[in-house]
Every structure is written in structure tokens, then in C-alpha cells.
Chain A
Amino acid sequence: MKKEFKIISDLILKNSRVLDVGCGDGELMSFLYKNITKDVRGIEISKQNVQKCISKGLTAIEGDAEKDLIQFPDSSFDIVILSQTLQAFLNPEKVLNELLRVGKKAIVTIPNFGHWKVRLNLLFKGTMPVTKSLPHQWHNTPNLHMCTIKDFSDFCDNKKIKFIKSLALDGEKLLNISRTNLGKRNLFSEIGIFLIEK
């Protein structure tokens, strides 16, 4: 089990109504179904992944988060999850707005482009960074809009999106992000995990 799943599930109340946007093959949904809530469903763009979800007994809809979230009414879920895919959308701002319309709250996780390894990579090697949490080359990466933990924090502040919880994963350590340690977390954390609401 990915450590991230455990962290995400700790942010969700038992029996909440959950939508996993970009649910992949349903790994996170399975985890949530077993441990947190039976009322979990996903939306996923890949047919193969939807098939895998269905065969695991999970409810999934084939669809594109950028177009198809519109079908869900306002506040129809307690929590909407977007796990490490925000950077892959053409228009992340629109998706984020949709997440917070459809969900009362949202959990967004991002691979942190501000991590020191990423920075060193570009500084010394002069090439686009390739790391464990960012494994692609510049030409085949699905990530169109990479951002750092600080970028995301600033963005949400600008858009008046409230942080209920901001967490950073630094190796095995789970740390709180606050205004005072933001710079440090932005340098040392691989993944940012945010529970937000409008």
C-alpha cells in the first residue's frame, strides 16, 4: 500500500460519499472501500483502467475530468479526491473549481517540483528533472503544468480557497505545512497533500 493512500484515508470521515477523479485502476478506491466507506466511485479516462475497476467491483465511469464533472450536481460528494493528476490537465484551474463545486471538500495531492533534487537536477545537469516521483522525460511526460508546493499554496490563497489541512511527505515522514515552514517543506518534500474547501 502506498503511504499516500493511508494519509488520504486519514483525512476522510467514515462512510463519507467520495469521488476519486482520475481513479486509475481503482487502487485507492479499493483501499477506501475496505477501510473507510462503501460509497466511493471514480471517474477515469482510460478504458482499460475502467475495466479493471469494474472487475474489482468498484463503481467507475469512463470520462474526462475536464469535461465530464459537469454532470454532477453541486456538493454531491463529501470529498472529491484528485491524486497526483492536477498537473496533467490542460486547465487545472477549471478542474480545481469543478472539484470544489462537486465536492464539499477536496483532497488534492501534487508531486512537488520544488524538491531539492529537482532543483539540483536542473541547476547542475541542465536537463529537465527525472526523479522517483517525476519519472518521465520532458518529451513524454503527461505533466503539462508542473507546480511546487509553494505555487499551489499561493494559487489557492489567490483564489480564496481555504486550507483545512496541508501536509507534506518527506521520505517516510509526514509533516505539517504552515506559513512559517513553507519554504523548507517546499525544498524537502516530494509530495504535497491538501484538504481544501471553497
Chain B
Amino acid sequence: MNKFENIKKLIVEDQLKLDCGQTISNFPIAYETYGKLNSKKSNAILVFHALTGDQFATDINPITKKDGWWKYALGPGKAIDTEKYFVICANVLGGCMGSFGPSSINPKTGKTYEIDFPVITINDMVNAQYFLIKHFEIEKLFCVTGGSMGGMQVLQFVANYPNLSQTAVPIACTSNHSAQNIALNELGRQAIMADAKWQNGKYEESNASPDKGLSVARMAAHISYLSKDALQEKFGRKLQERDDLKFSFDADFQIESYLRHQGSVFVDRFDANSYLYITRAMDYFDLNKKYEGNLSKAFKDSKTKFFIISFTSDWLYPSSENKEIVIALNSIGADVGYIEIESDKGHDSFLLNVPDFLETLRGFLNTSYERLNEKRI
């Protein structure tokens, strides 16, 4: 894919055994870095992105020309201060921003993998990104963080590499996908598959993509990222550029027009098959089950300092689910802090300008960094 020629990529030559049983090697992990790695290599933060994110966490995304998804939290002088920290962010396995995914070319056939791509998991994503840490020869990360699916990767990362990061900040996430989470993802997948242009996933050849289906998937998902109150306050029953109802199925209401817009801009930057694969990975995520129903066991070997953040109006990954992680950590005497931030912006709060959240994140990172460095002296 030419458009990804000028972005940073690590070709992982090692073999990676996936949860599905297949082994991959010589695969690309596309990534971006912000800030400078200090001489002691002690200031690195690995940021994991959410379902539809990518490695371009801040600044202008060179491919989409849009702002990075974490522009409020990450950058010079921001909560994750890139004047102080070296931030690495990779496009997940299965993604569509240059990493190994369903739109990569299968060397055996010379065609894109599409749905012949192996089903991947959060565990596989994390293990693939581990190669980046090796690549930078970082022995100990200062922090791993991310929201939503990024938070799940944080949990998985600490479980897999218990002492590779000094601190971990999972945000607005869960240790296992609930029936409601799976149901919402399934709705999105079925919307894509119901689009005739999906063609059982083999749409790249015919140069037609299931834009309608993907856009409906995005619309449904987008509702789950917002709170009822925020929607009501922003849109209520306001009409879209008209004085009265038109007695038709046009977008009479502003909320309809808004969702349609969200759907249509999404299809320009995201691949439908990637959407299927990544939502599947989220649904398969169950750290509890992996550790015999006892989440505490996932972290029992870790000395990592945890700080867990949830949001009052997040109904997708509600505080109660975030708190289960806190409880699991407390029950083994791990070092864990927890706060529920007051916000009416729903699950998306972690991406938005929520000053209480940003200040708390900044406070945690900066004081932890100072303390860890003072300990070392």
C-alpha cells in the first residue's frame, strides 16, 4: 500500500504464535513516536489505542490529515508531556494504518488477506507491540496507558510482562467484554456483513467497499460512546436546517444528521474487515477466564504501580467494571489508585477535553516519575 510508505514501521522478523494457533513472522508494526528517549531510557511511555484509533495519537495524522485521537492528553506541555516523556504508539495487529492486518498483502497469493487474515486477540496485539520495546532496547517502560480497548491492552500487557513497566494507567475499560459489549459489536459486524458490497470480505479486488455497512456500524458504536444527557443537551429534538418535520425519512433531526456525518467520515479512514477483526479481538477479551476466573492472578507477579480511571457517565465500560480491576489488585496488595471522574461526556470522556481527567492524569504521571527517579538515586 503506497500511502503507508512514509510512515515508521518495524518489520518483526521473529515468530509470533497467535492465540488462534497460527504463527506469523516478517510482519509490519506501524508506529509513531513523540518526544525524546533520554539517555537512561527511563522516560518511555507506551500508549495503546482504542478500536478505531491508530499510531498517530497527536499532531496531524499524515494519512487522514485529521487531528490525532489523543490531542487533548498528549503533546508538549500536555498531561502526557512529550517534552518530558518519550511516547511510543503502535497501530494494533489487525489494524488498517500500516500494521499487519486484513488489508496487508499475502505473499503467497499476492492479494490482500481480507478474511483469510487470522483472527487475532488483545493478547496477540500486545505481544506484537512488545517487539517495539525490544527494538528501542528499553528495559523498563515508565508507563503503559490507554483508554477503552487501549486500557484492555494495558491490563494484558502487565499480565504478560509483569515488570516491564513501572506504572500502568488503564482508562475506561474492563477486564472482560460483557454481553452488552459483545452485542453492540455484533450489531456493527452484522451491519458490515449485510452490505452486499462486503462480498464475504473479498471486496478489495472489486474496488468496492461496504461503506454503507461500516457507516451504520460506526453510527451504532458512536451512540455507545456518548451519554444520554450529553446527546440530549447537544441535540435534544432540534431539527436539521428546517423549521418543521418533513414527513419523510430524511435527516429531520440534528442527531440523525450528526450520526450520518460520523458514519460517512469514518469510512474514509477505516477498513471494514479491520473493524470486524478488532471488534472480535475485544469480544474475545476475558482476562478473568484466562486466569481461572481469578483476575488477581493475572497481576500476582507484578510490582507495577496502577492507577485506574473511570467516568461517571460511561455506560459502555462503567465504573463498576473498572472497580472490579481495582478490587482484584487490592486483594493481592498491589499498589493501585482509583478515581471516577465526574463527566457527562460518556465513554468518549477520555478522548475529550475533560480538565479533571487531564489534570489527574498529569498529576499521577509527573509525581510518579519524580518519585521513581528519586528512589533510583
Contact = CB atoms under 8 A, between A and B. Distances in A.
A27 to B, nearest CB: 16
Main secondary structure, interface of A, reads mixed
Contacts of B326: 61, 71
Interface residues of A, number: 19
Interface string B300-336: 0000010100000000000000000011001101011
Contacts of A59: 305, 335-337
Contact of B360 (A55, A61, A72): A55
B373 to A, nearest CB: 12
Interface size class of B (residues with CB under 8 A): 20 to 34
B323 to A, nearest CB: 8
A71 B326 CA distance: 9
Nearest to B370: A57
A163 B24 CA distance: 64
Nearest to A60: B337
Contact of A54 (B339, B340, B342): B339
A10 to B, nearest CB: 25
A63 B363 CA distance: 20
A51 B356 CA distance: 8
Interface string A29-70: 000000000000100000100110111110111110000000
Nearest to A19: B330
B341 interface: yes
B330 A61 contact: yes
Contacts of A61: 326, 330, 336-338
Given A51-B356, A51-B363, A72 B339 contact: no
- What 9 A-B pairs are tightest by C-beta distance, nearest first? A57-B367, A55-B363, A71-B327, A61-B338, A71-B330, A59-B337, A50-B339, A62-B339, A54-B364
13 contacts: A41-B337, A47-B339, A47-B342, A51-B360, A54-B360, A57-B368, A59-B335, A61-B326, A61-B336, A61-B337, A71-B327, A73-B331, A73-B333
